[in-house]
Structure 1
Amino acid sequence: MTENTAIPASRLLYGCMGLGGNWSDDPHTTTDVETAAAAIEAAMDIGVTLFDHADIYRGGKAEAVFGEVLAATPGLRSRIQLQTKCGIRLNERGLETHYDLSSDAIIERVNGSLERLHTDYVDVLLLHRPDPLMDPAEVRAAVGKLMAEGKVRALGVSNMSADQIEFLQDSLETPVVANQLELSLLKRDWLESTVLVNHPDAADYSFPHGTLEYCARHGITLQAYGALARGHYTGNPPERHTPAEAATAELLAEMAREKGTTVEAVLLGWLMKHPAGIAPVIGTANADRIRACAGAPRMAETMSRAEWYLLWVTARGRNVP
């Protein structure tokens, strides 16, 4: 398979879902360009070069406000890489949500993203969700056309299992370079499935076992959304925690103090220590919290095996089997 050259050396990504105001699809409600600019600057300050979008984020306004920053900042586009997603459609034809990976839809949505982002191309296009009606030949045709036109440089997926990726890859002329999944210390299905083989508790977890191994074997970068546990350990009041969650929040704070770093760095470092090469997506729009993630790569290097397991066992509320 062709070597993945689309994903930058940085192990951290910035997720732009929180930019652009509310979730209405009215483009005139785009707000707070200053917040977007500050978030982008903070991300770049900690070494982030890949910025993650989707056509549906904030009804398209996340891309639009990012595009405003790009247009107002000469030279910025050449210093970063852009990734966007397509495949989810919202509030159309009486449906709150449905999926569409038809050829026409992929081309239409990518062109819309490029217009909002004020750019001629995206470095990576992700197929946002599996579409049961997807015809791989249509995906191949759409992606081939977009790549031939220079509008897309690499293709990835999101929320797909190993079997789904392999089925799609069989029809593609370009390698799948990334798979974006929800992975965190809170959302641990991906990890539990690895140790619960031949164990009765395996039925409690739906994550498709073997997906991480497949991605590692084929050079597919694992991108982790929700990597900061959606603020669960750092923002939720204690009364909303289960006993295991409260103990985990306390342990994270204690470990951060001992190591002279932040809880955010510990959370992300825990993910990054996994040998699958997980690249966390930082989703907060708060510039200070973005900068608080700076120590994550160092935490991944220095966290001991015992510390890594202690965090996991504490989060799961019981020992590993």
Structure 2
Amino acid sequence: MPDRRRFLQTAASAALLGSGLPAWSAAPATSMLTRSIPSSGATLPVIGLGTADTFNVPPGDAAAMAPLAQVLQTLMQAGGTLIDTAPSYGDAEAVTGALLARDPGLRARLFLATKISTRGHESAMRQVRQSQKDLGSDKLDLIQVHNLIDTRNQLALLRELKQQGVTRYIGITHYTDHAHDELTELVEREKPDFLQVNMSVGARNAEKRLLPACQANGVAVLINRPFQDGALFRQVKGVPLPALAADIDCTSWAQLFLKFIVGHPAVTAVIPATSKPANMADNARAGFGRQPDAAMRERIAALLA
């Protein structure tokens, strides 16, 4: 089985360079699947981009930033718009902003999500102002309380910022199963616009109570850690792609893992992180073609049981 580094390198190159169009301008041949944001009715393409670790490079390092520029270009050429970052991701937020600054018209085409990861009003506002500066945008699409840090106070602040027009949406995030009970209570009580949480074919705890609570309370869902930090790829290393993959138009394990997530009706979008353009092209293909129903999702999960 070809690994992620070798997957469809020719196709990825064509996606990046074959159009002959200026950077950022190529449109996808067909539309990526979108899902509605319950609180507004606006739609969001189901495959986005996370920046934790992968975009944490020196902002002035041209060699390090070159593949990241290609990752963003590949995302947009596929029809993706969502980029998720945070002040706590080292230089990732500044790098994202520096790449976006290369095209003045790019901001209007993207959905930028960031986070507050500190305690207290003044400290949080410093983070928000820094995020605005780093991302080159006074108005952000989504600001999230990160990892349940000072949640009550920061949610109150975010509601104020939403009223002021600083952010379009507010949310809450976490990345581990142990937070799911508290997140469920917050979803039911606070009804934020978004919840960002971990889920994968190998980590399904969110499906028990948390995702149903989001559906019942009109909360959009972003999924992080869809590959369990690479553990899923290690688990299937050397294993041929199963025949059932063709039934939902998958040509790689990455697409199968992502479609398993997108197939859940509560999920709005998934945000795999990568620094490799070929991987971004592979991930984006999960937003196209047939998606799994509940029965197919169980068949996929059984492959890793």
Q: TM-score, normalised by structure 1?
A: 0.71
2:68 pairs with 1:36: yes
- Root-mean-square deviation (CA), in Å? 3.0
Q: How many matched pairs?
A: 263
Equivalent residue for 2:114, pick from 79, 84, 94: 84
2:243 pairs with 1:228: no
Equivalent residue for 2:297, pick from 308, 314, 320: 308
Corresponding residue SS for 1:187 = coil
Equivalent residue for 2:253, pick from 237, 244, 263: 263
Shift of 1:176: 0.8
Distance in 2 between residues matched to 1:116 and 1:300, nearest whole Å? 38
Residues 122, 153 of structure 1: 8 Å contact kept: yes
Corresponding residue of 2:80? 48
Residues 223, 267 of structure 2: 8 Å contact kept: no
Give the direction of change, closer, same or farther, for the CA distance of 1:307–1:212 in structure 2 (3 Å limit).
closer
Q: TM-score, normalised by structure 2?
A: 0.75
Give the direction of change, closer, same or farther, for the CA distance of 1:304–1:189 in structure 2 (3 Å limit).
closer
One-letter amino acid of the structure 1 residue matched with residue 202 of structure 2: L
Equivalent residue for 1:13, pick from 42, 45, 48: 48
Corresponding residue of 1:102? 120
Distance in 2 between residues matched to 1:166 and 1:304, nearest whole Å? 28
For each residue in 1:5-64, what CA deviation from the matched residue of structure 2 results, as whole angstroms up to 9, or x when unmatched? 286431122112211317xxxx7779722222111111112221111001111x2x1111
Alignment of 1:1-321 (within 5 A): 3-5=38-40, 8-17=43-52, 18-21=54-57, 32-57=64-89, 59=90, 61-87=91-117, 100-131=118-149, 134=150, 136=152, 138-159=153-174, 161=180, 163-164=182-183, 166-167=185-186, 170=189, 175-191=191-207, 194=208, 210-234=209-233, 236=234, 241=235, 250=239, 252=241, 254-256=243-245, 259=249, 261-298=251-288, 301=291, 303=292, 305-316=294-305
Give the direction of change, closer, same or farther, for the CA distance of 1:39–1:142 in structure 2 (3 Å limit).
same
Find the structure with the greater CA-based Rg.
1
Distance in 1 between residues matched to 2:227 and 2:41, nearest whole Å? 24
Residues 184, 213 of structure 2: 8 Å contact kept: no
For each residue in 1:86-140, what CA deviation from the matched residue of structure 2 results, as whole angstroms up to 9, or x when unmatched? 22xxxxxxxxxxxx34222221211111111121121100111113xx372x335
- Residue segments in structure 1 that go unaligned for 5+ positions in a row: 88-99, 195-209, 317-321
Distance in 2 between residues matched to 1:147 and 1:290, nearest whole Å? 31
Residues 184, 210 of structure 2: 8 Å contact kept: no
Shift of 1:164: 4.3
Distance in 1 between residues matched to 2:294 and 2:215, nearest whole Å? 20
For each residue in 1:208-234, what CA deviation from the matched residue of structure 2 results, as whole angstroms up to 9, or x when unmatched? xx2111101112112111113433343
Residues 20, 31 of structure 1: 8 Å contact kept: no
One-letter amino acid of the structure 2 residue matched with residue 270 of structure 1: F
Distance in 1 between residues matched to 2:132 and 2:62, nearest whole Å? 17
Residues 4, 220 of structure 1: 8 Å contact kept: yes
Give the direction of change, closer, same or farther, for the CA distance of 1:13–1:7 in structure 2 (3 Å limit).
farther
Corresponding residue of 2:13? none
Residues 87, 93 of structure 2: 8 Å contact kept: yes
Give the direction of change, closer, same or farther, for the CA distance of 1:188–1:30 in structure 2 (3 Å limit).
farther
For each residue in 1:291-310, what CA deviation from the matched residue of structure 2 results, as whole angstroms up to 9, or x when unmatched? 11233234552x36554222
Distance in 2 between residues matched to 1:274 and 1:127, nearest whole Å? 24
Give the direction of change, closer, same or farther, for the CA distance of 1:165–1:176 in structure 2 (3 Å limit).
farther
Distance in 1 between residues matched to 2:187 and 2:262, nearest whole Å? 27
Shift of 1:265: 1.5
Distance in 2 between residues matched to 1:108 and 1:127, nearest whole Å? 14
Give the direction of change, closer, same or farther, for the CA distance of 1:86–1:261 in structure 2 (3 Å limit).
same
One-letter amino acid of the structure 1 residue matched with residue 133 of structure 2: E
Corresponding residue SS for 1:250 = coil
Identity of aligned residues (%): 22
Give the direction of change, closer, same or farther, for the CA distance of 1:309–1:68 in structure 2 (3 Å limit).
same
